[in-house]
Structure 1
Amino acid sequence: MVSEMPKYYWEDFKVGDTLEFGTKHVTREEILEFASEFDPQPFHLDEEAAKKSILGGLCASGWHTSAMLKRMICDAFVLESASVGIPSIEEIRWKKPVYVDDVLSVKRTCIERRTSKRQPGMGLTRFAYEVFNQKREVVMTMVGWVKYGRRHADEAVEA
């Protein structure tokens, strides 16, 4: 549910701050459903074909992993924030397959922030995300910018 009064604004994200969150159990049904609609490759749809592939078993599409990350991000803080969107994703890397019954979690690190030159009521924050499986292996990384409303748009900002 989206918060009426945001809890988090641009000012709340400081360079170097980290947050760990999320617990997403990946099911066979979800993998098949997502792949059927968006990425119908055999190793995402057919268990026998997946076993014979380089992946060694049925696994989620990288785009499905990205979608699960986005959901965990929303649940952890975005839905309670003054976020106005993502102007860019600079990098996504799928490091390891995500298999049936994996349990995913996330580490977010704030790596850069600045105010918007064109919109003084807004600030931009650059985050690095690491997605882990239950063995604490990194399965995906993502780096990108998020635009947030500023709590005090008229105040000077320290870098």
Structure 2
Amino acid sequence: MGRLLYAEDYEKGARHDLGSHKVTAEEIVTFGRTYDPQPYHLDEEAGRASSFGGLIASGWNTAAIWMRLYVTTLLPDAAAEGTVEGSPGVDELRFLHPVRPGDVLTGTCEIVASLPSLSAPDFRIIRNRGRLLNADGAEVLTLILNARFRCRPKNS
């Protein structure tokens, strides 16, 4: 862990590469069985019979992939945490293209705003525009994540 980063360290317009993740059929089916048991998330043959033409990941699986990349890349050195009210949440979540086994998804995050927290004065809300792109450069997911980051302590 490096230097602890506070809300003031996340400037509007800053862009972050979150790395990549290769999607597997096993991951798609496991997630589908557990959280979104629609036929085209569970079985290649059922997927072929659907309008998708094959096995595809749940949109929620895709969102979880972006979140994993965000947490493991951007948060290890961050003073980010929820307060007793919890996380401010996600806006504008979009599933734009099907994600298939073998797809390599690359995540990005852009800081679009830093707002005072109305309920916790020692925190700011950092609005992040998240994106996942496939190897062809097509956006498969976009979202706006509102995350709470602790403000720099007055004595530091």
Q: TM-score, normalised by structure 1?
A: 0.88
1:137: which partner in 2? 138
Q: Distance in 2 between matches of 1:56 and 1:153?
A: 57
Q: Distance in 1 between matches of 2:135 and 2:17?
A: 14
Q: Which moved more, 1:28-37 or 1:114-123?
A: 114-123
**Aligned AA (1:59):** I
Shift of 1:154: 7.3
Shift of 1:88: 1.7
Kept after mapping to 1: 8 A contact 2:18/2:74: no
Does residue 84 in structure 1 map to residue 71 in structure 2?
no
Q: CA RMSD in A?
A: 1.8
Change (3 A) 1:60 1:97: same
2:126: which partner in 1? 125
Kept after mapping to 2: 8 A contact 1:122/1:153: no
Q: Distance in 2 between matches of 1:97 and 1:39?
A: 15
- The unaligned stretches of length 5 or more in structure 1 are none
Q: Percent identity, aligned pairs only?
A: 32
Kept after mapping to 2: 8 A contact 1:121/1:153: no
Shift of 1:6: 5.9
- The unaligned stretches of length 5 or more in structure 2 are none
Does residue 40 in structure 1 map to residue 42 in structure 2?
no
**Aligned AA (2:116):** T
Shift of 1:79: 2.6
Q: TM-score, normalised by structure 2?
A: 0.90
Kept after mapping to 2: 8 A contact 1:120/1:153: no
